[in-house]
Structure 1
Amino acid sequence: MLSLPPEISRQVSLETSASVIHPSAKCLIKRSIDVVGALVGLLILVVLAIPVAVAIWLDSPGPILYAQTRYGLKGKPFTIWKFRSMVKNADALKQTVSNQAQGLIFKNEQDPRVTRVGGLLRKTSLDEFPQFWNVLTGDMSLVGTRPPTGDEVSRYSPHHWQRLNVKPGMTGQWQISGRSAIKDFEEIVHLDLHYQAIWSPWYDIQVIIKTITVLFDRRGAY
């Protein structure tokens, strides 16, 4: 796994140790919803895995799964899993692609590294189905904050660390408010903190239901 430089790791430790864990991270009802949802998602993944894997490999030979280090509750690093939607050397080519977003995130609607099959996987969010394993193991939740990369957390300002008071989610306030159409990192932070302020188990269920409708709509996905 990718590790942060020692000075950044110390910063993560200092910032997150001073933060307060959000009640959602300790809620048994939320965890129960996560486990049930993850098991259902993994059953669907079993059915989809072979045809998706074949399509990925035929379109762009290389690994079927893509693993990347992300940072979760109180800055804990974990490996996030996705179906590979880009060419196999995408990370090395990142510096050749322009960033259309503002702030600490990287987005490009016409990213040339995305394969043909990868584009379809992203539009349908099928590329994220392996993350149900992350939910089952407890590193992620069905609903939470957008899981940040090492590049992001290494440049965080003090108020950004509040995002890590909850577990990262497969979906969240950003997902039902515009998905990838949101290109301003500060807006994402605002949405994440808004989620923390109004959270309840029932609200998580509402977000999950609305996420499904957004996925069928497909607006804001790339």
Structure 2
Amino acid sequence: MIDETPAIRFPISFDRDNPVVELPERLTVLEAVPFKQAVSQLLQPDIAYQQIIINFAKTRFIDSSGIGALIASLKSAQEKNIELILESVQPPVMATLSMTGLIDILDIRSSEKWSNKESPETHPSVRSLVKRTIDITGAIVGLVITGLILIPIAIAIKLSSPGPIFFSQTRCGWMGKKFQMWKFRSMYADAEEKKKEIENQACGAFFKNDNDPRITKIGHFLRRTSLDEFPQFLNVLKGDMSLVGTRPPTSEEVNCYQIPEWQRLDVKPGMTGEWQVNGRSQVRNFEDVIKLDLKYQHSWSLLYDLKLIWKTVWVIFNKDSGAV
């Protein structure tokens, strides 16, 4: 997590009795929390505004925490039946909103001319063509292996319990962009409906139970060997995920995030990462997940990715690693 957020003030003017919030050059985790607080003050029940205008004229950079603050402010405004309008959005910010799909959700009334080919400023791991090449190569090799093991795993899943072979779930990737993540099914078909009945042994915005009764017999084996994750090579090939990154959260988890926790979405989610090689079964506190994710972001390099891939292979074959 970050240190205590410094006091940052956002100038507010008025346009036809509607407040206009002026944003600074950057909307990052340092500015996102006080920005959300400024909007929240404008949503007090004793104030009856029809619109709140967010002026992006000066803003050239927005990170995942800024995205989180925008989404949180939009939801709060909608609850009060107040329009949240974005004005004078600059091309780099428009590129980010476009790539995350938020351009279709947010009310953008005016913006500078921009090209959908423009790449937003983001974490170097997301921009790296070499990392993307490694991802594509690894995904192709992984999908070939997946094809070889598909039939025996499919038969084992079907014999273990009725239901589909694959499990698909909406997850949130870079900047909170939603995508469908695929796995071999390791739980009973009605697992999602029974989730509320299972005790969550984790603290914070993620779910974990060591003795989850929803996991099938073959499911325990698939998870212990990480074979259940092989279909995710398709997500890597499509670009929604990377071979190495952060743990991909569910939409429900992201909805519970505080603004600083959005920092973990500054990079693409990965099939493996710090959380995998540091004993994911032993991680119980979401604060520890954040620390591991930020460690990866700060330490990232192509060599660091290769080291994490090697450590993942070692962890999978070391039964005493405590990784699953």
Normalised to the residue count of structure 2, the TM-score between the two structures is 0.63
- Post-superposition Cα deviations, 1:126-155, rounded to whole Å, max 9, x if no partner, equal 000000000000000000010010111001
- Cα distance, 1:10 vs structure 2: 4.2
Verify the 8 A CA contact 1:100 1:106 in the aligned structure 2.
yes
CA distance in 1, matches of 2:303, 2:132: 13
More helix by share: 1
1:82 match: 183
Superposition deviation, residue 39 in structure 1 = 0.8
Residue 198 (structure 1) aligned with residue 305 (structure 2): no
Runs of 5+ consecutive residues of structure 1 not aligned to the other structure:
1-6
Aligned to 1:212: 313
Q: Where do 4+ consecutive residues of structure 1 move more than 4 Å?
A: 7-11
Structure with the bigger RCO (C-alpha within 8 Å, sep 6+) is 1
Kindly provide the CA deviation profile for residues 161-214 of structure 1, in whole angstroms up to 9, marking residues without a partner as x. 111110000001111111222111110111000100010011100100000000
The answer to whether the aligner puts 1:189 opposite 2:290 as a matched pair is yes
- Root mean square deviation of aligned Cα: 1.8
Against the structure 1 CA distance between its residues 129 and 10, is the aligned structure 2 distance closer, same or farther, given a 3 Å change threshold? farther
Q: 2:124 aligns with which of 23, 26, 33?
A: 23
Q: Which amino acid aligns with 1:70?
A: R
Q: 1:109 aligns with which of 179, 203, 210?
A: 210
- Preserved contact between residue 278 and residue 323 of structure 2 (Cα < 8 Å): no
Change beyond 3 A, Cα 1:66–1:10? farther
Q: Deviations over 1:82-111 (max 9, x none)?
A: 000000000000011111111111100100
Residues 122 and 221 in structure 1, CA contact (< 8 A), matched pair in contact too: no
Name which one, 1 or 2, has greater alpha-carbon Rg: 2
1:217 to partner: Cα distance: 1.1
- Write the letter of the residue equivalent to 1:183: R
* Higher strand proportion: 2
Percent identity of equivalent pairs: 56
- Unaligned residue ranges in structure 2 (runs of 5+): 1-70, 76-85, 87-95, 98-119
Post-superposition shift, 1:20? 6.0
What is residue 13 of structure 2 aligned with on the other side? none
* Match 2:135 to one of 27, 31, 34: 34
What SS does the corresponding residue of 1:87 show, helix, strand or coil? Answer: coil
